[in-house]
Amino acid sequence: MHQIDMMIKKRHFSFLKCLFFCLWVSSAQASEYCLSAEQQLENVAEWGITAKIIDGDTIHLQDRRKVRFIGINTPEIGRKGKASQPFAKQAYRALVKLLKNNKKVGLSYDQDKKDRYKRLLAYVVLVDGQSVEQALLAQGLAYSIVIPPNAKHIDCYRAIEEEARKSRLGVWQLPENQWIEAHKLSSKSKGYRFVSGMVSAYSESKKSIYLKLTPKLSIRIAKKDLPYFSTIDFKSLQGKKLRVRGWVSRYKGRQSIHVRTAYDIEYDEI
């Protein structure tokens, strides 16, 4: 059984309701989803020494390996004349502060250990067991994301993220990071967005499934990602109000919000 499916079946509530339970939990309740410092240290597979900090979610080690943090995404620092995204430099500085006197970092892994850029994918902790990913999420300087099949700590990360969102910390102050109705989304929007809307139609192409929200905007699910949606019957979603998070772009002439796993879809099952 796939890891994501196993995690889903372990929950006491229905999958999607439990997934977004963090919308109502307090920070004390949220902590029940997260490992303690001692547990974080027990999970460390190896230790490394930080040589360079690239941005809020990427570091280089002294052994020349590039490490991309699993489960979070921080705003991009501008390169080659491009402007930095809002809060990118703050995320970078926050990571510098975390690692300034703690260059030794512990690495633990999920199912995929490398990304398409050959970077090492890891969860990173300090010598005292503090999670670097959790620290950035708590400050509102990172988004929690799932790049399948790596989803080991998503419940913890989503709960911490929601606390930062409710407190309007960091990136959660920005208009583009608020929930927006599908018909209000600009045709020029791109990047990671949070969108709600009623599914009016279901359709398929050779490589994708589409859930139409407006005449100009659809949710897109790549068929290669269907194993990560085993709990969802897409055809049954017609007429239902959804909240989704994913990457908005233009794909084959149409605007779509690309959703990678069932963790990124919320709807009322009743």
Buried b / exposed e across 35-71, counting CB within 10 Å, b at 16+? beeeebbebbeeebebeebebbbbbbbeeeebbbbbb
Separation between Cα atoms, residue 123 and residue 97, nearest integer Å:
18
Other Cβ atoms closer than 10 A to 73 = 17
For the annotated catalytic residues, the residue numbers are 68, 76, 119
Other Cβ atoms closer than 10 A to 198 = 17
Number of H helices, E strands in the chain: 7, 15
Separation between Cα atoms, residue 31 and residue 171, nearest integer Å:
22
Cβ neighbors of 255 (< 8 A, separation 6 or more) are 185, 187, 189, 216, 217, 218, 248, 249
180's tokens: 């927006």
Distances (CA, A) of 121 to 71, 108, 124, 219: 10, 9, 10, 27
